[in-house]
């Protein structure tokens, strides 16, 4: 296992990681400039996870968050484990073949969102007592007012916010991979993760949109159950 | 750009703090942060800021830069956290006032203040560290102590690539603006403009990866020999002593917390 | 004695089907200066990568035949050992900056740190190499703040400090302006004078003619012509096969056609052309001024 991890860290990986971190931060800031209601601050992390394996993705996420915290917003600092798991899980999803077509990428994005929600909840609860410096804490505060426990309130909030962001992130990373030449991708440790499955792109895109709708419905349903319970 | 300044934070001076070993200063930062979390006294973070970080910024002859960064960057972030938590944290206790469903209590304000101060302490002591330690000095020292050389490469390379990337992003945004991109326009329009903004930025930086990998391989990046370092980073006995004292203080505050609770 | 020896080298990149290099045989003696020319896509860069070990170690793919440098065989070695035999510098100076260092001096020491050279020796080697390439005054500058020509000289120096036995340069001036080009060729001239074994891919044939002991013309992955600069660079085959040739050669060839160039040997550089035309008795001077 350790040897396999070592193989994932070839020179291409080490050179890609700083670029990926810069991509994370640059896209994150463009999104702020455009005033879009998403973060999109882990496109690079997902990219590394997919092309270089889970542990490289995890390292990218953790470093990215730390540097973001030092350079831009100190409040981002404590969240590095979330970014770590985003990289890790996208890497494992890609390894399992879940990054080869549009609709599969949507599922990957959803799983990454669940991971992010799960990883951020304990940090928000134990470090911040539930209310953080993020705008979505308005929702948490409201949910707590309605009598929900702090754990449930925080998790439901993430569950509401994360899927849109992470599915968009995964799709953006996929679009980037599609735009890279195969000979370039072949230099990275895991080119097999993004091998083309064939099939028309249009059809896949429609399926992807269908999956997004289903996932949103599923999320709403789950949320009602959590809130009801 | 604000970030550029922050990434090349280092202020070249001749001071005791600058001469300390980087690991010692790093221990100082982590020591302060851990103590502020462990020690079971409400005033710990405040005391550490007033009697630790701020005096040290004078010792390091970087007080002006330190206050500048604190006021412009750290205080707003800590302040925002304070307001959010003070208003929304539903802690039981003496109610201060009530607007709509908000009814901050004395307890929630106290809690929010301590948290904000911890964040302030964490970031401002790290800022002090960056002001007095050159990144390559830090990396040389950590590499000598066993950190894999590739990590040093990643950290410093990121610090240097990031401002270049941001400059490029800025160029692309202004180019798009002149072609009619309006950050006030409708949501769909703004979302649609994301791709033409991101595309050139991402692909432009990715194509460089292969050549840079070849260039550093050509210079023995993957060599299995034990790496040496151009810079000699002194590590004195007083450095070692400071590190041990800090470790002891952290343990004492942890013990106090376990003992008192 | 041949220091570089390629025998029957054929190479195919991964994911492709036809070979980019076919049956290449190439011997370079110690201290020789060999230039490679060829149209776009001829396989010049691939040949450089092959000698420098990146083919097949970095690019993978299928390599047959043998690549030997200083009696070691590439396929039996590791890339990180091979780079001590062969140094490689290429077109884009910006991408050759490691990014891991803040000053030129540190940048030059990067490779030596990686291969574990002791500190004192490191400093001496960096300073000597900087003197050789004339960049001592850049030592404390940031590599990112330099001009293209300066960056390329830093890239060259960063390879020279590694003290390779053979230096491979892939179009080091193709992205330079005339000033940068002159700066870089100034360094290359010094290396040639010092007796370094150099393999240089270059479009600018007028420069090649000044340094090269031997020129190799590559086309479609095969060696088309090989010989002294005078033979190869003025060969009519070049022009027919889509190579860029010196304008002085084409002018002289035209002149030869109408009897204005009397030498057997066609020129490549301006000096050679001037010299040649000076030998040719000019048509009887019935200029306007005389009448
Ligand atoms: N990584 C790669 N994978 C597959 N094919 C490649 C790769 N790199 C180059 N090629 C192909 O190999 C052939 C030779 O390329 P090479 O770069 O060696 O040519 P060149 O003579 O250096 O050209 P130029 O003058 O443009 O630099 C070209 O057809 C090119 O498309
Ligand atoms: Mg080429």
Q: What is the pLDDT of residues C221-239, one digit of tens each?
A: 999 999 999 899 988 898 8
> Which tokens hold the place of B173?
């945004």
Report the C-alpha gap between B136 and B155 in whole angstroms.
10
Q: Scanning the structure block, which residue is given the tokens 């050139």?
A: B200
Same domain, C122 and C108: yes
User: What residue of A is the nearest CA neighbor of B6?
Assistant: A71
Report the C-alpha gap between B158 and A64 in whole angstroms.
9
Q: What is the pLDDT of residues B121-164, one digit of tens each?
A: 988 898 899 899 998 899 999 998 989 989 999 999 998 999 88
Q: Are the beta carbons of C265 and C230 closer than 8 angstroms?
A: yes
Domain presence at residue C254: yes
Q: Are the beta carbons of A127 and A78 closer than 8 angstroms?
A: yes
Q: State how far residue B105 is from chain C, nearest Cα, in angstroms.
A: 51
Query: Measured from the CB, is residue C13 less than 6 Å from ligand 1?
Result: yes
Domain presence at residue C120: yes
Average pLDDT over residues A76-86: 93
Same domain, C144 and C264: no
Q: Residue B161: which of B214, B208, B195 has the closest Cα?
A: B208
Cβ-based contacts of B198 with chain A (< 8 Å): 27, 30, 172
Domain presence at residue C66: yes
Task: Estimate to the nearest angstrom the gap between the alpha carbon of B175 and the chain centroid.
Answer: 32
Number of independent structural domains in chain C: 3
pLDDT for the residue numbered C269: 86
pLDDT for the residue numbered C291: 41
Per DSSP, C212 falls in state -
Domain presence at residue C142: yes
Report the C-alpha gap between A115 and A94 in whole angstroms.
15
User: What residue of C is the nearest CA neighbor of B221?
Assistant: C114
Cis, peptide link before residue B104, omega less than 30° from 0: no
Q: Are the beta carbons of C154 and C138 closer than 8 angstroms?
A: yes
Report the C-alpha gap between C199 and C215 in whole angstroms.
10
Neighbours of chain A (3+ CB pairs under 8 A): B, C
Q: State how far residue C47 is from chain B, nearest Cα, in angstroms.
A: 15
Same domain, C58 and C197: yes
Same domain, C4 and C78: yes
pLDDT for the residue numbered C251: 87
Mutate to test the interface with A, among B167, B180, B206 (most CBs of A within 10 A): B206
Q: What is the pLDDT of residues C73-97, one digit of tens each?
A: 999 999 999 999 999 999 999 999 9
Whether C254 has its CB under 8 Å from any CB of chain A: the answer is no
Same domain, C159 and C170: no
Residue with the nearest Cα to atom 7 of ligand 1? C13
- Which of the two residues, C50 and A227, has the higher pLDDT score? C50
Task: Estimate to the nearest angstrom the gap between the alpha carbon of B116 and the chain centroid.
Answer: 15
Interchain proximity C15–A18, CB inside 8 Å: no
The rounded percent of chain B whose pLDDT value lies above 90 is 50
Report the C-alpha gap between C44 and C222 in whole angstroms.
10
Mean pLDDT of chain B: 87
> Which tokens hold the place of C279?
């030998």
Same domain, C29 and C155: no
Average pLDDT over residues A21-28: 93
Q: Which of residues 102-131 of B touch C (CB under 8 A)?
A: none
Domain presence at residue C128: yes
> Which tokens hold the place of C79?
């890339």
Interchain proximity C60–A186, CB inside 8 Å: yes
Choose the closest CB to C119 out of B135, B217, B230: B230
Same domain, C74 and C177: yes
Residue B101: other Cβ atoms inside 10 A: 12
Pairing state of beta strands C197-201 and C33-37? Answer: parallel
SS3 assignment, position C6: strand
pLDDT for the residue numbered C276: 84
- Which of the two residues, C117 and C250, has the higher pLDDT score? C117
Same domain, C15 and C68: yes
Q: What is the pLDDT of residues B13-59, one digit of tens each?
A: 999 999 999 999 999 999 999 999 899 899 999 999 999 999 999 99
- pTM exceeding 0.80: yes
pLDDT surpassing 90 at residue B96: no
Query: Which DSSP helix (H) or strand (E) runs through B217?
Result: helix B194-217
pLDDT for the residue numbered C282: 60
Report the C-alpha gap between C62 and C55 in whole angstroms.
9
Same domain, C104 and C30: no
Sorted by where each begins, the domain ranges of chain B are 17-133, 149-223
User: First and final CA of chain A: distance in angstroms?
Assistant: 41
Domain presence at residue C287: no
Same domain, C117 and C253: no
Query: Which DSSP helix (H) or strand (E) runs through B192?
Result: helix B187-192
- Which of the two residues, A219 and C90, has the higher pLDDT score? C90
Average pLDDT over residues A183-187: 93
Per DSSP, C282 falls in state P
Which CATH fold topology does A2-228 show?
Answer: Arp2/3 complex 21 kDa subunit ARPC3 (1.10.1760)
Residues 6+ apart with CB under 8 A from B71: none
Report the C-alpha gap between A149 and B101 in whole angstroms.
17
Whether A18 has its CB under 8 Å from any CB of chain C: the answer is yes
Same domain, C186 and C213: yes
Domain presence at residue C148: yes
C-alpha distances in Å from residue C32, one per residue of A105, C8, C72, C170, C218: 55, 21, 19, 17, 18
Confidence of residue A29 (pLDDT cuts 50, 70, 90): confident
SS3 assignment, position C86: strand
Neighbours of chain C (3+ CB pairs under 8 A): A, B
């Amino acid at each position: 296992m350790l040897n396999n991890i070592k193989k994932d860290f070839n020179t291409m990986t080490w050179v890609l990681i700083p670029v990926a971190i810069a991509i994370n931060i640059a896209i994150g800031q463009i999104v702020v400039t455009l005033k879009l209601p998403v973060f999109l601050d882990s496109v690079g992390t997902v990219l590394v996870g997919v092309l270089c394996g889970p542990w490289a993705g995890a390292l990218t996420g953790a470093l990215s968050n730390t540097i973001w915290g030092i350079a831009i917003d100190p409040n981002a600092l404590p969240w590095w484990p979330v970014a770590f798991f985003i990289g890790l899980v996208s890497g494992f999803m890609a390894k399992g073949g879940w990054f080869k077509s549009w609709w599969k990428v949507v599922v990957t994005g959803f799983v990454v969102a669940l991971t992010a929600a799960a990883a951020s909840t304990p940090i928000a609860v134990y470090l911040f007592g539930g209310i953080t410096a993020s705008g979505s804490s308005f929702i948490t505060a409201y949910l707590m007012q309605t009598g929900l426990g702090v754990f449930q309130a925080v998790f439901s909030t993430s569950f509401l916010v994360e899927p849109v962001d992470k599915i968009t992130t995964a799709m953006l990373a996929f679009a980037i991979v599609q735009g890279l030449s195969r000979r370039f991708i072949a230099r990275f440790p895991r080119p097999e993760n993004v091998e083309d499955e064939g099939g028309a792109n249009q059809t896949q895109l429609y399926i992807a949109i269908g999956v997004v709708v289903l996932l949103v419905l599923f999320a709403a349903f789950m949320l009602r159950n959590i809130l009801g319970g | 750009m604000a970030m550029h300044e922050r990434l090349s934070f280092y202020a070249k001076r001749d001071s005791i703090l600058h001469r300390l070993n980087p690991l010692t200063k790093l221990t100082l930062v982590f020591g302060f942060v851990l103590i502020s979390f462990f020690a079971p006294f409400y005033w710990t973070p405040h005391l550490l800021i007033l009697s630790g970080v701020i005096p040290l910024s004078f010792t390091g002859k970087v007080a002006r830069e330190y206050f500048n960064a604190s006021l412009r960057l750290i205080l707003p972030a800590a302040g925002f956290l304070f307001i959010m938590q003070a208003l929304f944290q539903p802690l039981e206790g003496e109610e201060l006032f009530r607007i709509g469903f908000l009814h901050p209590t004395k307890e929630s304000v106290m809690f929010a203040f301590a948290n904000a101060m911890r964040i302030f302490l964490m970031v401002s002591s790290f800022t002090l560290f960056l002001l007095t330690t050159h990144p390559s000095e830090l990396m040389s020292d950590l590499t000598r102590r066993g950190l894999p050389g590739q990590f040093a490469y990643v950290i410093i390379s990121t610090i240097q690539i990031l401002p270049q990337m941001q400059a490029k992003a800025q160029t692309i945004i202004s180019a798009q603006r002149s072609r009619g991109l309006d950050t006030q326009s409708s949501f769909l329009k703004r979302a649609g403009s994301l791709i033409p903004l991101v595309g050139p930025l991402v692909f432009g930086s990715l194509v460089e990866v292969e050549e840079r990998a070849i260039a550093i391989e050509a210079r023995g990046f993957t060599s299995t020999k034990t790496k040496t370092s151009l810079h000699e980073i002194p590590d004195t006995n007083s450095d070692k002593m400071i590190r041990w004292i800090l470790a002891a203080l952290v343990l004492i505050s942890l013990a106090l917390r376990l003992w008192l609770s | 004695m041949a220091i570089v020896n390629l025998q029957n080298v054929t190479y195919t990149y991964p994911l492709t089907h036809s070979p980019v290099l076919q049956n290449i045989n190439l011997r370079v003696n110690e201290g020789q200066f060999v230039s490679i020319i060829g149209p776009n896509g001829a396989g010049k860069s691939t040949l450089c990568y092959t000698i420098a070990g990146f083919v097949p170690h970095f690019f993978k793919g299928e390599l047959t035949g043998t690549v030997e440098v200083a009696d070691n065989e590439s396929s039996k070695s590791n890339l990180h050992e091979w780079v001590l035999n062969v140094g490689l510098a290429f077109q884009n100076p910006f991408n050759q900056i490691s990014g891991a260092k803040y000053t030129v001096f540190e940048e030059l020491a990067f490779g030596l740190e990686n291969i574990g050279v002791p500190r004192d020796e490191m400093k001496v080697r960096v300073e000597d190499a900087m003197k050789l390439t004339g960049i001592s005054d850049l030592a404390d500058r940031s590599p990112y703040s330099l001009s293209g020509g300066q960056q390329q000289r830093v890239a060259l120096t960063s390879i020279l400090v590694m003290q390779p036995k053979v230096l491979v340069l892939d179009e080091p001036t193709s992205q330079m302006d005339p000033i940068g080009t002159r700066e870089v060729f100034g360094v290359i001239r010094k290396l040639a004078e010092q007796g370094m074994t150099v393999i240089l891919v270059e479009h600018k044939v007028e420069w090649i003619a000044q340094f090269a002991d031997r020129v190799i013309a590559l086309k479609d992955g095969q060696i088309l012509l090989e010989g002294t600069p005078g033979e190869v660079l003025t060969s009519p085959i070049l022009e027919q096969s889509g190579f860029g040739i010196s304008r002085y050669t084409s002018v002289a060839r035209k002149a030869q056609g109408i009897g204005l160039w009397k030498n057997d040997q066609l020129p490549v550089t301006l000096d050679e052309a001037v010299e040649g035309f000076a030998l040719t008795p000019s048509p009887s001077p019935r200029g306007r001024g005389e009448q």
